[in-house]
Amino acid sequence: MLKVISYSEISRNADLFFSQFQLRHREFVERQQYGVKTLDQMEFDQYDTLASVYLVYSEDGKTALGCSRLTPIQYGCMLAEHFPSLVDDHSLFKMPRIWEGTRFCVDSRLPPDQRLKISRALSGGYVAFGLNRQIDQIIGLMPTLILRTVFERAGIELRRLGSPQHIGAHAKIQAASIPIRSDQMTRFCDRTGLRVEGDRLEAEPVADVA
């Protein structure tokens, strides 16, 4: 299931909260060699603040198998501050009710079908969270392959914010926006078989989407 953890829920989800930082260390520091801050085999940066909310996928309620971070852009925006060239219209960064999704990752040691299921749960979590918080759109940057296979094939409509660029080890990184609308959630649930239960996303066994 997918759990939403804000600062007020950390004490009730301590194992899961800190497990996601360990997962981020394995995926971003050990596997992809990101030059970011670490402590005790956990990865963190300046965007991990009280304003951030974390989507964490787990099967036992303690071990993170996938995670992502969501932050209102007025409290810090990685796209605006580090990758502005990926966005054509910078007026976006001054609009209200926009959040940024960052640190999207899934445990690479898992089988491919399980990784896909978790990735899609996280992508649907963006839409479910946005609807619950009355957010207009969620922005972020990802490899174009992830945008297509994880989001668009799961029925989530994206709006590209600029042209793809070569960044680091990735040949094509692109900024995109998810318009938050109820039809996005309906289409996602129909396509993937995931259903929303309060602050959780529960998975149903369904066939993969071609």
pLDDT digits (tens, 9 = 90+) for 74-89: 999 999 999 999 999 9
Q: Give the pLDDT of residue 205.
A: 33
Select the more confidently predicted residue: 121 or 205.
121
Q: What's the average model confidence in pLDDT over 28-40?
A: 87
* pLDDT beyond 90 at 126: yes
pLDDT band at 196 (very low <50, low <70, confident <90, very high): low
- The mean of the pLDDT values for the chain is 91
Please report the pLDDT score of residue 33 as a whole number: 81
Question: With the CA atoms of 202, 205, 207 and 210 taken in that order, what torsion angle do they form, in degrees rounded to the nearest 10?
Answer: 20
In this prediction, residues 105-134 reach a mean pLDDT of 95
CATH second-level architecture of 2-197?
A: 3-Layer(aba) Sandwich (3.40)
Q: Say what the pLDDT of residue 14 is.
A: 96
Average pLDDT in the 120-141 region? 95
The reported pLDDT for the residue numbered 203 is 46
Burial 20-46 (b: 16+ CB within 10 A, else e): bbebbbbbbbeeeebeeebeeebbebe
Other residues' Cβ atoms within 10 Å of the Cβ of residue 181? 15
205 or 108: which carries more pLDDT confidence? 108
The HSE-up count of residue 19 (CA atoms within 13 Å, CB side) is: 21
Q: Which of 136, 58, 124, 55 is nearest to 92 (CA)?
A: 136
Residue 209 has pLDDT above 70, yes or no: no
The pTM of the full predicted model, rounded to 2 decimals, is 0.91
